[in-house]
Amino acid sequence: MTGKRQRREGARSAGNPPTSWVPGAATQGGGGAATQGGSDTPSPLCLGWVGHSSTLGYLRRLEPALAGLARRYPELRLRVVCSEPYKSEAIPVENVAWSLAEEVANLRSLDIGLMPLDDDPWARGKCGYKALQYMAVGAPVVCSPVGMNVDIVQEGENGLLASDLLPEIPLVMHVLRQGGL
């Protein structure tokens, strides 16, 4: 039994006995995404990225598109939950130090979760846990169509798959302003 489709296929091709694939799960700890909190005063829309500092390079590749979005949506901000701060000239950034105690609250503070990946063997082996975490708290995801993401994300229902992530963000923002994805 494995939580990754890629590992199941690898086990099968190596002649191992039947191997089952069971996708991972994430708990939400109650609540929903920031835009679903019922406040009468809309807060600035918040794109979010949660991850280890070793994967900040995936986020860094989005800088040109983030700059365009920030010009189009001046209220937009990026919340980065990580052990190291992220600096951007493209968009206002709120850095939040990752902690287990605040993990669910930090996830719930996001309007849209970002999961950019390269299409390479390493990324194809990832289990999509970040996307599952975002969705568990009610935040739609915009993520690369790589690895488990293609099995987890149901287009237009819980998020969007996009090779170039940021052109899809305006659509998600529009849907959020209209009442959710």
Residues 26-47 have pLDDT tens digits of 655 544 444 444 344 456 789 9
pLDDT score of 36:
41
Backbone torsions φ then ψ of 162, nearest 5 degrees? -150, 130
Q: Which domains does the chain have, with CATH numbers?
A: 43-177 (3.40.50.2000)
Contacts (Cβ under 8 Å, ≥6 apart) of 154: none
Query: In this predicted model, what pLDDT tens digit does every residue of 84-131 receive, in sequence order?
Result: 999 999 999 999 999 999 999 999 999 999 999 999 999 999 889 999
The larger pLDDT score, comparing residue 149 to residue 71, is at: 149
**Do the beta carbons of residue 77 and residue 107 sit within 8 Å?**
no
On whether the CB atoms of residues 78 and 166 are closer than 8 A, the answer is no
Confidence of residue 8 (pLDDT cuts 50, 70, 90): low
| pLDDT tens digits, one per residue of 143-158 | 999 999 999 998 878 8
Rounded average pLDDT over 42-64: 90
Please give the DSSP secondary-structure letter assigned to residue 60. Answer: H
Per-residue pLDDT, averaged over 14-24, amounts to 64
User: Would you state the structure tokens that stand for residue 72, as one six-digit string?
Assistant: 């189009």
| Average pLDDT score over residue span 8-15 | 67
pLDDT band at 22; cut points 50, 70, 90? low
* Rounded Cα–Cα distance for residues 56 and 42 (Å): 29
What pTM value is reported for the model? 0.77
Contact 76, 91 (CB under 8 A): yes
Distance from C-alpha of 122 to C-alpha of 118, rounded to nearest angstrom: 9
